[in-house]
Amino acid sequence: MSASASKTHRRADPIAGLADPDLFCASAFIDGQRSNDSADTIDVTDPATGQVIGAVPALDGAASTTAVDAAARAFPDWSGLLPQERAAILRRWYEAIRNARDDLALIMTREQGKPLFESRGEIDYAASFVEFYAEEAKRPNIESVTSHLADAEVEVWREPAGVAALITPWNFPAAMLTRKAAAALAAGCTCVAHPSSETPFSATALAVLADRAGMPPGVFNVVTGRAAEVVEPWTNDPRVRVLSFTGSTEIGRLLYRQSAGTMKRLVMELGGLAPFIVFADADLDQAVEEAIKAKFATSGQDCLGANRFFIERPLYDEFCRRFAGATAALTVGPGIDDPDIGPLMNQRAVDKQRQHVEDALAKGARCLVGGKAHPAGPLFFAPTVLVDVPADALVMHEETFGPVAAIAPFDDEATVIARANDTEYGLIAYLHTNDPRRIYRASRALQFGMVAVNRTKVTGAPIPFGGMKQSGLGREGARLGMEAFTEVKYVCRDWR
Ligand code: NAP
């Protein structure tokens, strides 16, 4: 049934400027119905102003199990559709997202804080996964194997794994959800999703659009509520066959442990501590421009954000001078005014910036720009450049997840590669050099799932996104992203 016809419909106070106010939806979505089955609610705050923009139901463990019931009931029909039929629904979802781009971006900016231009960019990115997997759903999934037996024929099939649980963070509240959901749905899985309680409205808006696109009841469920209460029943439920999580390594480890009892397939997109390495032969203008993007996109709250800048000694002073100048020119303000940098998500994030700055200064670093709170509001932190940062500073070892750049010089290739690799994380590394042999050597030596050479923007639906070491398990995007939601079945047919 259409969600908008549901009796339990509850709309949030409309955000001014929405062309389609129904997209701002203060309900969970379970079994094709809007669900508000809880007296308890969770307030959602605009980080730019501190204003509560709405609230979503704090559903409990019983409701989250009801969502799995719905997804398990929907699985036989959804997985039994022709791939072209699933693809057609995904394609309609994609078109609905594209058509609602400006409204979705506005909702995201109000709940997440990011500048409007970045929110629009994220909606495009989110839609691109739905489009990609609508196509990928149709591709043949049979692998041909030459038989090793004289009297038998062998085949390997990919089958949808079952119900998939998707747990997503607040920094990319639309794209992290579609990257998982579109792949799972294309593979024939049904989903239960928990969006971050800081940014649930981007997810509920996507659920409204999925419903309008004709997604059958139970196929794509969004359950709002306190994370531990909603997600723990999923980790224990044997019907949930895949758990795909994006968030911190700490919570990733917890979910890994919780999922052990039911031996789930896991996809983990976790934290990063990206090194940004500039060799003396690099194009300095290009390196500075890309460094600004790698540090300050999403106000620094990006798992791909450069945390540690290593600059070869001959370029060091000039790089620091130019980078500091470009940083000082960045505009800061509420996302709705479309500045370069918006607010941070919460007070914890602001405290972490302050802690990393104070610790680095106490250990001998110098601050060229920023280094303190920004007057735009309590959750704003000034874009900051720290130089001569010693190796033992916290900012060189912990994900800062904010607009603080830490820079240190280096003298030779072997040392900088060793320093870059000296972390439990391995998501992305940035490399600037014009020496083709060094590009090859360093790309091989860096223990990261992604290496970006002389550029920052490298992601997109067709590439395998993910990290090594404790940055995660598996990959999202590309064909691999869909295969994560499948089981492999080997069939051997005797033909005597
Ligand atoms: P987080 O605290 O780990 O939260 C991520 C998600 O997990 C949220 O939906 C959160 O819900 C939920 N969660 C929290 N506690 C949970 C629990 N006990 N059981 C089940 N779920 C739980 O991470 P975050 O602070 O939101 O996001 C920042 C982190 O995500 C950074 O480390 C960043 O690098 C990483 N990240 C990685 C990627 C990637 O693709 N590799 C992309 C984006 C972000 P609530 O918000 O409701 O608590």
SS3 244: strand
Tell me if 303 CB under 6 Å of ligand 1.
yes
Same domain, yes or no, for 296 and 258?
no
Q: Which residue has the tokens 């290739």?
A: 413
Cite the DSSP H helix spans in 237-344: 249-259, 284-296, 313-328
What's the total number of domains in the chain?
Answer: 2
Tokens of 254: 């917890």
> Is 15 among the domain residues?
no
Q: Whose CA is nearest to atom 45 of ligand 1?
A: 196
Same domain, yes or no, for 257 and 289?
no
Phi-psi region of 225 (alpha: psi -120 to 50; beta: other; left: phi over 0): left
Query: Kind of pairing, strands 306-312 and 163-167?
Result: unpaired
- Domain of 171? 21-270+472-490
d(CA 76, CA 84): 16
Classify burial at 387, counting beta carbons within 10 Å of its beta carbon; exposed 0-12, middle 13-18, buried 19 or more. buried
Same domain, yes or no, for 198 and 294?
no
Same domain, yes or no, for 299 and 317?
yes
- Three-class SS of 206-240: HHHHHHHCCCCCCCEEECCCCHHHHHHHHHHCCCE
> Is 4 among the domain residues?
no
Mutational pocket test of ligand 1: of 129, 167, 463, the residue with most ligand atoms within 8 Å of the beta carbon: 167
Same domain, yes or no, for 228 and 93?
yes
Neighbours of 145 (CB within 10 A): 12
d(CA 474, CA 222): 23
> Is 321 among the domain residues?
yes
Q: Which residue has the tokens 């024929």?
A: 153
d(CA 377, CA 337): 14
Separation of CA 247 and ligand 1 centre (Å)? 3
Same domain, yes or no, for 329 and 221?
no
Tell me if 131 CB under 6 Å of ligand 1.
no
Q: How far is CA 326 from CA 86, 126, 135, 261, in A?
A: 47, 29, 41, 51
Tokens of 48: 């730019």
Mutational pocket test of ligand 1: of 43, 56, 60, 171, the residue with most ligand atoms within 8 Å of the beta carbon: 171
Give the CATH number, domain containing residue 412.
3.40.309.10
Query: Which of 246, 247, 268 is CA-nearest to residue 256?
Result: 268
Tell me if 447 CB under 6 Å of ligand 1.
no
CB-side neighbour CA atoms (13 Å) of 123? 26
Query: Which of 152, 141, 181 is CA-nearest to residue 267?
Result: 181
Separation of CA 169 and ligand 1 centre (Å)? 4
Same domain, yes or no, for 259 and 365?
no
How would DSSP label each residue in 370-390?
Answer: --SB-TT-TT-B--EEEES--
d(CA 429, CA 306): 8
Give the ligand 1 atom nearest the CA of 252. 3
Q: Whose CA is nearest to atom 22 of ligand 1?
A: 227
Same domain, yes or no, for 216 and 318?
no
Q: How far is CA 399 from the centre of its chain?
A: 15
> Is 153 among the domain residues?
yes
Separation of CA 302 and ligand 1 centre (Å)? 12
Output the CA torsion sign for 370, 305, 170, 426.
Answer: negative
SS3 93: helix
> Is 465 among the domain residues?
no
Give the ligand 1 atom nearest the CA of 465. 40
Query: Which of 152, 181, 156 is CA-nearest to residue 166?
Result: 181
Same domain, yes or no, for 181 and 212?
yes
Q: Whose CA is nearest to atom 30 of ligand 1?
A: 247
Model pLDDT, residue 6: 38
d(CA 309, CA 287): 11
Tell me if 427 CB under 6 Å of ligand 1.
yes
> Is 14 among the domain residues?
no
Tell me if 200 CB under 6 Å of ligand 1.
no
Q: Whose CA is nearest to atom 23 of ligand 1?
A: 247
d(CA 424, CA 391): 15
Tell me if 246 CB under 6 Å of ligand 1.
yes
Are 256 and 268 in contact, with CB atoms under 8 Å apart? yes
Q: Whose CA is nearest to atom 12 of ligand 1?
A: 227
Q: How far is CA 235 from CA 120, 231, 241, 263, 266, in A?
A: 33, 6, 9, 9, 11
Q: How far is CA 84 from the centre of its chain?
A: 28
Tell me if 228 CB under 6 Å of ligand 1.
yes
Tell me if 172 CB under 6 Å of ligand 1.
yes
Tell me if 169 CB under 6 Å of ligand 1.
yes
> Is 50 among the domain residues?
yes
List, in sequence order, every residue forming a beta bridge with 45; answer none if it has no partner: 52
> Is 16 among the domain residues?
no
Give the ligand 1 atom nearest the CA of 249. 32
Tokens of 59: 């559903």
Same domain, yes or no, for 245 and 394?
no
d(CA 94, CA 128): 8
In order along its 496 residues, the chain shows pLDDT tens digits of 333 333 344 556 678 899 999 999 999 999 999 999 888 999 999 999 999 999 999 999 999 999 999 999 999 999 999 999 999 999 999 999 999 999 999 999 999 999 999 999 999 999 999 999 999 999 877 778 899 999 999 999 999 999 999 999 999 999 999 999 999 999 999 999 999 999 999 999 999 999 999 999 999 999 999 999 999 999 999 999 999 999 999 999 999 999 999 999 999 999 999 999 999 999 999 999 999 999 999 999 999 999 999 999 999 999 999 999 999 999 999 999 999 999 999 999 999 999 999 999 999 999 999 999 999 999 999 999 999 999 999 999 999 999 999 999 999 999 999 999 999 999 999 999 999 999 999 999 999 999 999 999 999 999 999 999 999 999 999 999 999 999 999 999 999 8
Tell me if 343 CB under 6 Å of ligand 1.
no
Separation of CA 248 and ligand 1 centre (Å)? 5
Model pLDDT, residue 210: 98
Enzyme catalytic residues: 269, 303
Tokens of 484: 């994560």
Separation of CA 44 and ligand 1 centre (Å)? 16
Q: How far is CA 261 from the centre of its chain?
A: 26
Separation of CA 271 and ligand 1 centre (Å)? 9
Separation of CA 425 and ligand 1 centre (Å)? 16
d(CA 10, CA 17): 19
Query: Which of 392, 402, 287 is CA-nearest to residue 343?
Result: 402
Separation of CA 494 and ligand 1 centre (Å)? 49
Separation of CA 168 and ligand 1 centre (Å)? 6
Give the CATH number, domain containing residue 215.
3.40.605.10
Same domain, yes or no, for 446 and 478?
no
- Rg over CA atoms, the chain: 23
Same domain, yes or no, for 152 and 194?
yes
Give the ligand 1 atom nearest the CA of 271. 34
Model pLDDT, residue 10: 54
Give the ligand 1 atom nearest the CA of 170. 26
Neighbours of 88 (CB within 10 A): 17
d(CA 450, CA 351): 29
Model pLDDT, residue 1: 31
Which residues lie below 8 Å from residue 368, measured CB to CB, with a gap of 6+? 320, 324, 385, 386, 387
Please give the backbone phi and psi of residue 53, each rounded to the nearest 5 degrees, phi first: -95, -10
Q: How far is CA 60 from CA 170, 205, 237, in A?
A: 20, 21, 15
Tell me if 203 CB under 6 Å of ligand 1.
no
